[in-house]
Chains A and B, each alone.
Chain A
């Protein structure tokens, strides 16, 4: 395939990286809200720092970020607000850090969720990724630490992974800023709807369970026809998730289906003194 070089400059990542302006903490009217999620220790904070120019302390240490941190950037004239969520292994239990992450994905309604994934531990990281894909379809996977994976003799086929998950997958080495321009482009494409994701949704093998889920989804959709993720809400209600039940009782779920961002439950806490 021949390409027109002069035109293709505009799509070249190197060209577009110059269109990145790091805003640090100064985000006011963001066009898009980007959530950063992932397992602990995958380099979320490193990606966060590379994008915002902030210097949140990065620790090789699970549980380092237990609150949300926020920052901003301008890319191709659009202002993005970036929210760094606590690193979690799952969104299905009840610890406070998982609740903060989950509530933000559900009630904060980010335009795009970037899931930072450790290439050396893909399987474990995919557990969380799949759970996030149940909640939101606007996802970009940042396949981080590919240098370390190579050192351990692990090769991840990112095209195959992207096909299976139905979302863009960007291989990167965040510590050396490799892949950052490509990540920004993917975020932009998903945010603007230029890239239409087809998220992988997990089927339940148990037929009784699947039937119950379908019935629940129907009941929910009667009341909230525009809800983006009725299946996930049904999954959680069947699990007796108290915070989702509360959201229904307080009519916050209704706001969601009207596309309004609901203020997340936990406040942003910036850890001034990090050990």
Chain B
């Protein structure tokens, strides 16, 4: 017998002798020491402790009913500020990138007498898709991220997690899932990694599979844009931005509800088991450091997310231009694909263009809207005077016109697109992260396909109901 097995066997022998109380006894001894040392070193001023602002605030923010009201209100304010604030900078950017720079580039191409296919591919494909992503995403992100980061730095998000924690425990999931879910509201890949704080493998899997129901950076702009141009048109102009913000909040809340329902479903079927008990510490409130927050949220978040989107948009723009301009007979490849997907799309209350856009956008959800617009303009009748695969400068009102008149969109299309934005497969980065964290083909597959399946069911149902009653 070698020395290593000797050590292990001695350990096994003592384990039996000491029994199950061992772990608790070790922990108790450490805790007793910690308490004694702390007692020796800490003195408290009882008077000061009484006037505790934090405790009062915590009572309000984690109130069983009030807590949820405050939560809804906070999210609403954040989105309303984002939507009403992003309007003007969006138009300035669109004017600059999609009008002046676009025609400038074409001017240069003509001066250099570049062949049509080359300038088409580079300017109408690669450049325009990239410019579109920047124009659509930058203004809302530059407002949304700092606001969200301020809430986070102040210490509000852990209170939200605290409020939701009880609900998660009731579904049979781990309360800490509320934390990884909040992380997912930024980025699902980061959210999936953050499930490492959950130590039970069963509850961790539930948290990983449901993380995709937190709307991520890549999807907020889609929701905000569709909410702004479609849903707001159902309300009088004065209330338009309120209704738009409400619609975005509604989808986010629906995401939380879905997370809870799916967690409950999983813990009752595939992932049965005990619910772990844990304590969630509420960190102290800290005055947010405004300047530093602006810096980190602009540089670390906005710039990184935008850069990722641009990296994805450039090749996607190239692909879209190519499939729209390579003809097999009379119809372009894009035409074939859209025609093929159209019956299914219409059945789901959307159309073939939207489904194709979602396939093109698997690498990054950020490019869904630009892709939809590009394809709609290319394949639709020529009324806006667009060439194949060209996206023009469009203001919100024009986007509305294009989508309704060329794309044949209705309110149902917009609502179902928003629902499908919530309920579809995770982006490729997230799928890869799920694989890295689970190293399990089955769970990676389930985490990727379950949301799509739900999306198909939900959009089919709303479309059917709409057709029956409207």
Residues of chain A at the chain B interface (Cβ within 8 Å):
40-41, 55, 57-63, 66-67, 86, 89-90, 92-98, 100, 120, 122-124, 126-127, 129-131, 148, 151-158, 160-161, 164-165, 175, 200, 202-206, 208-209, 212, 215-216, 219-220, 222-223, 234-235, 237-240, 245, 248-249, 251, 269, 271-275
Q: A164-B41, A202-B33 are in contact. Are A153 and B18 (CB under 8 A)?
A: no
Q: Considering the complex, which residues of chain B in the window 260-293 have a beta carbon less than 8 Å from any beta carbon of chain A?
A: 280-281, 283-284, 286, 289
In the complex, chain B residues whose CB is within 8 Å of the CB of A208: 17-18
**What would be 14 A-B contacts, judged by CB atoms less than 8 Å apart?**
A41-B283, A57-B300, A58-B153, A58-B296, A60-B152, A60-B153, A92-B27, A127-B30, A130-B30, A161-B41, A200-B33, A208-B17, A274-B186, A275-B186
Whether A215 lies near B304 (C-beta < 8 A) is no
Q: How far is the CA of A73 from the CA of B330 in the complex (A)?
A: 64
Q: Map CB proximity to A onto B175-196 as digits: 1 under 8 Å, 0 otherwise.
A: 0100110111111011101101
- C-alpha gap A139/B139 in the complex (Å): 47
* One of B43-51, B312-320, B416-424 contacting the partner: B43-51
Alpha-carbon distance A202/B31, docked complex (angstroms)? 10
Q: How far is the CA of A59 from the CA of B42 in the complex (A)?
A: 27
Given the contacts A212-B18, A238-B14, A248 and B8 also touching, CB distance less than 8 Å: yes
Query: In the complex, which residues of chain B have a beta carbon less than 8 angstroms from the beta carbon of A216?
Result: 7, 10-11, 14
Q: Contact: B25 with A223, CB < 8 Å?
A: no
Contact of A157 among B41, B44, B194 (CB under 8 A): B41
List residues of B (153-207) whose CB comes within 8 Å of A's CBs: 153-155, 157-158, 176, 179-180, 182-187, 189-191, 193-194, 196-199
Write out the residue numbers on chain A whose beta carbons fall within 8 Å of the beta carbon of B23.
92, 239
For residue B3, CB closer than 8 A to chain A, the reply is yes
Tell me which residues from 223 to 244 in chain B have a Cβ below 8 Å from any Cβ of chain A.
none
A120 to B286, CA, bound (A): 13
**A62 with B197: in contact, given A161-B37, A216-B14 (CB under 8 Å)?**
yes
Q: Which residue of B lies closest to A96 (CB)?
A: B196
Residues of B within 8 A of A123 (CB): 34-35, 38-39, 42
Complex Cα gap A223–B300 (Å): 49
> How far does the Cβ of B42 sit from chain A's closest Cβ, in whole Å?
6
Given A152-B49, A273-B187; A203-B155 close (CB under 8 Å):
no
**Interface residue ranges, B against A (CB under 8 Å):** 3-4, 6-8, 10-11, 14-15, 17-18, 22-23, 25-27, 29-35, 37-49, 52, 152-155, 157-158, 176, 179-180, 182-187, 189-191, 193-194, 196-199, 217, 280-281, 283-284, 286, 289, 295-296, 299-301, 304-305, 308
B183 adjacent to A57 (CB under 8 Å):
no
Q: Which chain B residue has the least Cβ–Cβ distance from A269?
A: B193
Report yes or no: B38 in contact with A122, Cβ–Cβ below 8 A: yes
Verify B26–A235 contact, CB threshold 8 A. Answer: yes
Contact yes or no, B194 A160, CB < 8 A = no
In the complex, A86 Cα to B81 Cα: how many Å?
Answer: 34
Could you tell me if B38 and A63 are in contact, using CB atoms closer than 8 angstroms? no
CB neighbours of B295 from chain A (8 A): 55
Q: How far apart are the CA atoms of A153 and B53 in the complex, in Å?
A: 13
Q: Contact at A153–B45, with CB atoms within 8 Å?
A: yes
B45 to A237, Cβ gap below 8 A?
A: no
Residues of B within 8 A of A151 (CB): 48
Q: Are A155 and B45 in contact (CB under 8 A)?
A: yes
Smallest CB separation, A187 vs chain B (Å): 22
Roughly how many angstroms separate A216 CA and B22 CA in the complex, as a whole number?
14
Pairwise interchain contact A59-B153, C-beta atoms closer than 8 A? yes
CA distance A174 to B342 in the complex (A): 58
Among B26, B158, B198, the residue within 8 A (CB) of A62 is B158
Chain B residue nearest to A233 (CB atoms) is B7
B217–A165 touching, CB < 8 Å: no
CB distance B190 to A95 under 8 Å? no
A238 & B30 in contact (Cβ 8 Å cutoff): no
CB < 8 Å neighbour of A55 from B194, B197, B296:
B296
A212-B14 contact, Cβ under 8 Å, with A152-B49, A164-B41, A274-B190: yes
Given A126-B34, A271-B190, 17 additional A-B pairs, CB 8 A: A58-B153, A61-B283, A63-B197, A67-B193, A95-B197, A96-B199, A127-B30, A152-B48, A153-B46, A156-B42, A157-B43, A160-B40, A164-B41, A203-B29, A204-B26, A216-B10, A234-B11
With a 10 A CB-CB cut-off, give which of B4, B15, B154, B308 has the most chain A CB atoms. B4
- By the criterion CB–CB under 8 Å, are A126 and B37 in contact? yes
**CB atoms of B305 and A273 under 8 A apart:** yes
Q: Is B34 in contact with A130, judged by CB distance below 8 angstroms?
A: yes
Q: Which B residues touch A249, using CB under 8 A?
A: 4, 8
Establish whether residues A153 and B44, one from each chain, have CB atoms under 8 Å apart when the complex forms.
yes
- Given A164-B37, A237-B8, A273-B187: A154 and B197 within 8 A (CB)? no
Pick the contact of B4 from A66, A152, A248 — CB < 8 Å?
A: A248
Set of chain B residues within 8 Å of A120, measured between Cβ atoms: 284
Nearest B residue to A165 via CB reads B37
| A95, chain B: closest CB distance, angstroms | 3
